[in-house]
């Protein structure tokens, strides 16, 4: 049997197995010709394997401390009246952690030009030609996310004092407010195919 695939190879009568690693633009021509009285089996196998592996590890530690204080004021030993007014104490904390992500765009692995098998010029021969196409796609994605958040918020307008004053004492404290927002966005895996 004469077997041609870019290079010409002479084979004895029997079974030939051809494996072609195909890609998007790969094509091959297999020709079986010039055989005498024989029975020849030819198998053409095209194999396309795509392997995608993605891994992400994210470790985040956030420590946020916020403090607001207008208190701790005092008046002592005054002969007249005492008046104090403190401003507002406000603490606003916003802590956002964005997770990691994997994105894979995997093509179809299709042949734009298929392989061609030609059988001709065999004398009294029985020739069987088979074409097998195998396509395997493996996608593995892994995400590990560890987030530790410690948020401490403190506000104070108090602890004001009046001592040994001869007149009246008046203290007016402003409002105390604390706002804490803690957001953790998880990890995302995405596989896109045609």
Per-residue pLDDT of the chain (194 residues; tens, 9 = 90+): 444 443 333 333 344 444 444 444 455 677 767 666 666 667 777 788 888 999 999 999 999 999 888 888 888 887 877 888 888 889 999 999 988 888 888 876 565 555 666 666 666 666 667 777 788 888 899 999 999 999 899 998 888 888 887 878 888 888 889 999 989 898 888 888 77
Q: Is residue 132 part of a domain?
A: yes
* Alpha carbons 142 and 137: distance in angstroms, whole number: 17
In 3-state terms, what secondary structure has residue 81? coil
Instruction: Indicate whether 191 belongs to any domain.
Output: no
Is the Cβ–Cβ distance between 47 and 109 less than 8 Å? Answer: no
b/e string for 109-125 if b means 16 or more Cβ within 10 A? eebeeebebebeebeeb
Residue 190 lies in a domain: no
Residue 193: inside a domain: no
Q: Which domain holds residue 51?
A: 2-185
Domain count, the chain: 1
């Amino acid at each position: 049997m004469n077997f041609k695939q870019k290079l010409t190879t002479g084979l004895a009568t029997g079974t030939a197995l051809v494996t072609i690693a195909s890609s998007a633009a790969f094509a091959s021509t297999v020709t079986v010709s010039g055989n005498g009285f024989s029975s020849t089996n030819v198998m053409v196998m095209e194999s396309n394997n795509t392997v995608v592996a993605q891994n992400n590890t994210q470790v985040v530690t956030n420590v946020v401390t916020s403090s607001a204080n207008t208190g701790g004021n005092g008046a002592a030993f005054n002969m007249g009246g005492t008046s104090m007014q403190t401003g507002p104490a406000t603490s606003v904390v916003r802590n956002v952690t964005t997770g990691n992500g994997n994105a894979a765009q995997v093509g179809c692995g299709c042949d734009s030009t298929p392989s061609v098998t030609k059988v001709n010029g065999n004398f009294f021969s029985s020739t069987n030609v088979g074409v097998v196409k195998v396509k395997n796609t493996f996608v593995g994605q892994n995400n590990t996310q560890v987030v530790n958040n410690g948020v401490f918020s403190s506000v104070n307008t108090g602890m004001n004092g009046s001592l040994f004053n001869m007149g009246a004492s008046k203290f007016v404290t402003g409002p105390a407010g604390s706002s804490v927002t803690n957001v953790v966005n998880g990890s995302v895996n995405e596989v896109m195919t045609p």
